Structures are given as structure tokens and as C-alpha cells.
């Protein structure tokens, strides 16, 4: 009975999260085109439905019914496997993201946390591990296509993801030092009590008489955001895709639903890194003021609303950066990753550790 | 490198300026609503073409429904792309008058330079503002005389009088109505 209740509750939570994420992906495909066009004096999609709001549905139907082409020289197994390898890690990371307050309900004798699928104590490590697997999809897809553009895109993706995964990992270590935990829930909980306690400002992390010193993680935040843009292969770091040089990079030979899988994986990854950034640096579901305005159930939804606002803020930042910046050259990308981001992340770790060690 | 340059580098100053530019446009479009898109929804709204727009070429008629073309072949001679083919013939019973029995324009080759329009002595050719002429079969773009006349009918409903009714000089010297420079006395 206990197992059944637990499994049922988990399935419900997973279904809700998956539907939300997929809906957000659909919204994002439209929102990106609209935001870009508004910033570039254009209109964006206007044909399907009023102001083009039904465009994601039209795109979905189109991709679903498109011919599924496998190039004659392609490695069939890897070619089919690559989109799946891309998509699953992009979705699986949402299992440990806390969307709302850390509360517990007793349901038929089983303790259930309604606003997180599973609170495992190494949540952030789990996400890092799985998003790294997502890079395999890109590399394998590029190799298996038997196309020089795809291969070049895959190679670039390999180098880029390795370089910037490192920076993502190092950028969040400051937060982990402050929180003393790898659990996403604990990290979010430690930032309760207003905007000053968010890790980006970094006060109130138990420094005793030195409580007024902000252990700011703003360097880690900037490094994380830039590196996560690079990790999701978005402009200005979209070298694996690079429309103007490599046709469509590793996606050149993909069509139909396989292409849609890559597309969904890219947007799901964007949502995931936005969720992580808001949980790690901007206090997750905590409001910028202490506590909640509404009591009880409404307070929970207030937390979810704040989390949503933060995530969508990050997604808007993604679009904004894409509308503004041109693509980096390959050597600039590597130099920026290894010679600028990496030392900044390391310096952030060193300074945070020193402050925490001597002042706490 | 001065200190100011260093500070600019570390704060991504130039990038922030660019991002300010894009967000300014965004706010003007969405929040202030004082900025419009420069693009048009093409099939639904079309821009005003300039009066000198060089679109599809049409053959014209006089106001009594007779063709202007006298079959002189000057357009064919002027055409740099050999678009035009004129087969001219005498008017039945009037040996002094000629007309174009067949008139073809292969618009796949046309580069819309307007030299034929300039060359025509009787202003029988004109350039319309039509441009949406995509066809599934490229042979559909080899227009014959009826199609070219139809283009003229559709785009220039106001027709000119016959030459002899326009002005005595025009009738006798056949110079069209170009504004010729006056001779220095």
C-alpha cells in the first residue's frame, strides 16, 4: 500500500512536471521568435491564429507529419539514438528541481513533498551528471549523419561542452560551500528571508558577528549564466549549430520528429539551466521579501509564482542575449572559456572558501 | 590599457550597451507602443511602389481599342537580353501602315531595364507595377501579344487618344510626347 501511494503520487508529480515543461517548450518556441522580432523591428509569426499564437501547434503538426529521412551513409542505430540521448537528460534533470516551498504531506501514512519530484541529497550533482550525457546526443548525431557539416558541428559541440561544463561546475561550488549541501532543496531553503539572503547577495549565511559581510556569489552567477548559455548551444555560443558556417551543424541531416527531439531538448535544457540558476543564485521559490504575503495554500502558490517569474526572467535573458550579440569565433570561444571564465570561477571558489573558513 | 578600459572589460561594458539598445527597442514596441515594425505583412498589406517602378512590361492601346504598336522592331533592337520577338506585317489594304502580327516577350530573360519602353517611337510599351508573377511552368512566362495587351488593359485603364487627335506636330513628325530640349536659337 505504501509503495502504491508513493508510486501514484510520484507519477502524478512527474506527469504535472512533464506537461508543464512541454507546454513551456511550446510557449518558448513562439516567445523566442516574437521577442526576437520585437527587438529587431519585425513582427515575427503573424499568420497562424491571432498574432501567431497558434504557431507552436502548427510547427508541431508540421514536424510530426514530415518525412523522416535517414541519409544513405548514416549509421542507422546511432542516428536514431542521438535525439533520444539528447532529449532524455534534458527532461530528467527536472526531477530534483524544487518548484515550491519545502512542505511535507502525510498521505495514507506516506510522507510526500508536493513541489519536488524527489529530494535527493546530491541533486545538483545529479543534474550536472545528466546534462553532460546530453552532449553525447549532439556528438553522436553529428558523427552518425555521415556529413561533414554535422561532424564539424559535433566536434565543436564536444569541445565547447567540455570547456563550459567545467565552468558551470566550478561556478556553483561557491554556492555549495555557502550552503554546505548538494541538495537543491537545502540550497533553496538556506536562502530564505528576503533578497539579501539570496546567494547573489549572500548575507545571512551564519557568519556570526560578521553577518553584515555579503559573501556575494555574483561572480559565480555571471560565470554560471554565461557558461550555461554556452552549454545549451545558444547564441552567441551556438558554434555547433552555426547556421552561416555549418548549415545547421549537427542537426543538418535530421528531419521530422528526430529534429523535433533535438529542438525540444534545446529548449528543455534552457528551462533546466534557468531553473538551476534561480534555485542556486536567486533563492528559488523565495520572494525578495521575508516570508510570504498570503497564508497557507496561497503562500505556496506565491512561492511557485516567484519561481516562475525568475525562470522566465532567465529565459527572457537568453532571448535578449540572442537578439543582441553576434556569434563568437571558435578561438575566441575557447580563449574565453579557459582563460577568462575558468580563472574567474576558481578565484570565486578561493575567495568564498577563505571568507567562509575564517569568518564562520 | 588604462584603468577605465579594465573596468569596461570586466563589466562587459560594450555588451551592456548593445543589450541596452535591443531592450530599448523592445520597450518602445511593447510597453510604450510608440514604435512600429518596419516590415509589412506582405500578402495582406503591400507597400506603395514608386511611380518609376519597373515591373512587368505591357502593350498599350489607343482609346478606340486599336493597338498602338506599329511593328517597327525598335524594341527588339534595343533589348539587351533578346526578350522581344516581333513579327510585323502590313495592315490589310493599307500598305503604308504596319502592325505587329505576333509579339512575344520571354520574361524569364527580361532584366527590366526599360530600354524597350524608351525605344518605342509611339509609346506602345509601358512598365507596370506588377511583380508577383511566379509560375510553376517557366513556359507560362513567354507572353504573347494578347497577354501583354491584357497587362496593359489591367494596369493602364486610361488610354491615350490616337496620335492625330493629340497635337498636330505629333501627328506629322511622330515624335511621341517626350519633352525634347528646345533648339538654341
Contact B93, B75 (CB under 8 A): no
User: Percentage of chain A with pLDDT > 70?
Assistant: 98
* A-chain residues near B37 (CB < 8 A): 37, 41-43
Distances (CA, A) of A105 to A4, A136, A192, A256, A299: 16, 39, 21, 43, 16
> CB distance from B22 to chain A under 8 Å?
yes
Closest B-chain CA to A45 = B41
Pairing of strands B94-106, B125-127: unpaired
- pLDDT tens per residue, range A50-60: 888 888 889 88
Burial class (CB in 10 A: 0-12, 13-18, 19+), A88: middle
User: Residue A107: enclosing H or E segment and its boundaries?
Assistant: strand A105-107
Highest average pLDDT, of A180-189, B155-164, B169-178, comes from A180-189
**Cβ-defined contact of B29 to A38 (cutoff 8 Å):** yes
The Cα–Cα gap between A274 and A270 comes to 6
- pLDDT tens per residue, range A61-100: 988 888 888 888 888 888 888 888 888 888 888 888 888 8
Q: Give the three cell numbers for residue B135.
A: 509560375
The whole-number average pLDDT for the span A296-300 is 81
Class of domain B57-173: alpha beta
The Cα–Cα gap between A81 and A93 comes to 19
Place of cell 534533470: A93
Q: Give the three cell numbers for residue A183.
A: 541538495
Residue B88, helix vs strand vs coil: strand
Interface of B with A in 25-64 (CB under 8 A): 25-26, 29-30, 35, 37-39, 41
Examine the pLDDT at B176 and tell me if it is beyond 50.
Answer: no
Predicted local distance difference test score (pLDDT) of residue B177: 47
Contact A279, A184 (CB under 8 A): yes
Contacts of A338 (CB under 8 A, 6+ apart): A163
Burial class (CB in 10 A: 0-12, 13-18, 19+), A10: middle
Q: What's the number of CA atoms in the CB half-sphere (13 Å) around residue A50?
A: 0
CA distance A40 to chain B (A): 7
Place of cell 501579344: B145
Examine the pLDDT at B150 and tell me if it is beyond 70.
Answer: yes
> CB distance from A42 to chain B under 8 Å?
yes
The whole-number average pLDDT for the span A154-172 is 86
The Cα–Cα gap between A282 and A34 comes to 26
**Cβ-defined contact of B37 to A321 (cutoff 8 Å):** no
Longest Cα separation, chain B:
95
Examine the pLDDT at B171 and tell me if it is beyond 80.
Answer: no
Contacts of A293 (CB under 8 A, 6+ apart): A287, A299, A302
Contact A175, A217 (CB under 8 A): yes
Interface of A with B in 176-205 (CB under 8 A): none
Query: Can you give the residue ranges of every domain in chain B?
Result: 3-32, 57-173
Contacts of B106 (CB under 8 A, 6+ apart): B82, B83, B85, B141, B142, B143
Q: Which of A43, A50, A344 to mutate to test the interface with B (most CBs of B within 10 A)?
A: A43
- pLDDT tens per residue, range A207-235: 667 777 777 788 888 899 988 888 888 87
Residue A162, helix vs strand vs coil: helix
Lowest mean pLDDT among A104-108, A227-231, A276-280, B134-138: A104-108
ipTM here: 0.77
The Cα–Cα gap between B58 and B61 comes to 10
Any bridge partners for residue B89, and if so which?
B99
Based on DSSP, count helices (H) and strands (E) in chain B, helices before strands. 7, 5
> CB distance from B185 to chain A under 8 Å?
no
Q: Which of B16, B22, B27 to mutate to test the interface with A (most CBs of A within 10 A)?
A: B22
Contacts of A39 (CB under 8 A, 6+ apart): A319, A320, A323, A324, B22, B23, B25, B26, B29
* A-chain residues near B25 (CB < 8 A): 38-41
The whole-number average pLDDT for the span A117-127 is 86
Residue closest to B77 by CA, chosen among B114, B107, B119, B111: B119
Distances (CA, A) of B66 to A318, A336, B163: 66, 75, 12
pTM for the complete prediction? 0.81
Give B62's DSSP letter. Answer: B
Examine the pLDDT at A49 and tell me if it is beyond 70.
Answer: yes
The Cα–Cα gap between A347 and A353 comes to 10
User: Residue B26: enclosing H or E segment and its boundaries?
Assistant: helix B13-27
**DSSP-H helix ranges across chain A:** 2-39, 55-65, 76-92, 123-144, 148-171, 173-179, 184-189, 218-231, 243-246, 256-281, 296-324, 330-335, 342-359
The whole-number average pLDDT for the span B57-83 is 89
Contacts of A330 (CB under 8 A, 6+ apart): A156, A239
Amino acid at each position: 500500500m505504501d509503495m502504491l501511494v508513493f508510486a501514484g503520487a510520484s507519477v502524478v508529480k512527474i506527469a504535472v512536471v512533464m506537461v508543464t515543461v512541454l507546454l513551456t517548450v511550446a510557449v518558448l518556441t513562439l516567445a523566442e521568435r516574437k521577442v526576437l522580432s520585437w527587438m529587431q523591428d519585425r513582427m515575427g509569426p503573424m499568420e497562424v491564429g491571432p498574432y501567431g499564437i497558434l504557431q507552436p501547434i502548427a510547427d508541431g503538426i508540421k514536424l510530426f507529419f514530415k518525412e523522416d529521412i535517414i541519409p544513405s551513409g548514416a549509421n542507422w542505430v546511432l542516428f536514431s539514438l542521438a535525439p533520444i540521448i539528447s532529449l532524455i537528460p534534458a527532461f530528467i534533470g527536472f526531477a530534483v528541481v524544487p518548484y515550491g516551498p519545502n512542505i511535507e504531506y502525510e498521505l495514507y501514512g506516506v510522507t510526500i513533498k508536493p513541489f519536488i519530484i524527489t529530494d535527493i541529497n546530491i541533486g545538483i550533482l545529479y543534474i550536472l551528471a545528466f546534462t553532460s550525457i546530453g552532449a553525447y546526443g549532439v556528438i553522436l548525431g553529428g558523427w552518425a549523419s555521415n556529413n561533414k557539416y554535422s561532424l564539424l558541428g559535433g566536434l565543436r559541440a564536444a569541445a565547447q561542452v567540455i570547456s563550459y561544463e567545467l565552468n558551470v561546475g566550478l561556478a556553483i561550488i561557491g554556492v555549495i560551500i555557502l550552503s554546505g549541501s548538494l541538495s537543491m532543496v537545502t540550497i533553496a531553503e538556506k536562502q530564505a528571508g528576503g533578497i539579501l539572503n539570496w546567494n547573489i547577495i549572500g548575507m545571512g549565511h551564519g557568519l556570526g558577528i560578521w553577518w553584515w559581510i555579503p559573501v556575494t556569489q555574483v561572480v559565480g552567477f555571471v560565470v554560471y549564466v554565461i557558461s550555461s548559455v554556452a552549454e545549451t548551444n545558444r547564441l552567441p555560443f551556438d558554434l555547433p549549430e552555426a547556421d552561416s558556417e555549418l548549415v545547421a551543424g549537427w542537426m543538418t541531416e535530421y528531419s521530422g520528429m528526430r529534429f523535433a527531439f533535438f529542438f525540444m531538448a534545446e529548449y528543455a535544457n534552457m528551462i533546466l539551466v534557468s531553473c538551476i540558476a534561480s534555485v542556486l543564485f536567486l533563492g528559488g521559490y523565495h520572494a525578495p521579501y521575508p516570508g510570504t504575503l498570503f497564508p497557507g495554500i496561497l503562500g505556496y502558490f506565491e512561492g511557485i509564482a516567484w519561481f516562475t517569474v525568475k525562470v522566465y526572467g532567465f529565459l527572457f535573458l537568453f532571448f535578449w542575449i540572442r537578439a543582441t550579440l553576434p556569434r563568437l569565433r571558435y578561438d575566441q570561444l575557447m580563449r574565453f572559456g579557459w582563460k577568462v571564465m575558468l580563472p574567474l570561477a576558481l578565484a570565486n571558489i578561493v575567495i568564498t572558501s577563505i571568507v567562509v573558513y575564517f569568518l564562520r | 590599457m588604462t584603468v577605465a578600459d579594465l573596468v569596461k572589460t570586466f563589466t562587459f561594458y560594450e555588451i551592456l550597451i548593445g543589450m541596452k539598445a535591443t531592450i530599448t527597442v523592445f520597450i518602445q514596441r511593447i510597453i510604450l507602443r510608440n514604435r512600429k515594425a518596419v516590415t509589412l505583412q506582405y500578402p495582406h498589406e503591400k507597400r506603395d511602389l514608386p511611380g518609376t517602378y519597373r515591373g512587368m512590361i505591357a502593350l498599350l492601346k489607343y482609346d478606340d481599342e486599336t493597338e498602338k504598336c506599329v511593328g517597327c522592331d525598335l524594341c527588339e533592337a534595343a533589348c539587351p537580353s533578346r526578350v522581344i520577338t516581333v513579327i510585323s506585317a502590313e495592315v490589310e489594304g493599307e500598305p503604308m501602315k504596319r502592325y505587329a502580327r505576333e509579339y512575344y516577350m520571354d520574361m524569364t530573360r527580361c532584366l527590366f531595364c526599360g530600354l524597350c519602353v524608351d525605344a518605342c517611337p509611339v509609346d506602345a510599351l509601358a512598365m507596370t507595377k506588377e511583380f508577383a508573377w511566379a509560375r510553376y511552368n517557366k513556359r507560362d512566362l513567354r507572353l504573347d501579344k494578347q497577354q501583354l495587351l491584357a497587362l496593359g488593359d489591367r494596369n493602364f485603364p486610361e488610354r491615350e487618344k490616337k496620335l492625330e487627335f493629340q497635337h498636330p506636330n505629333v501627328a506629322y513628325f511622330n515624335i511621341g510626347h517626350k519633352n525634347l530640349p528646345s533648339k538654341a536659337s
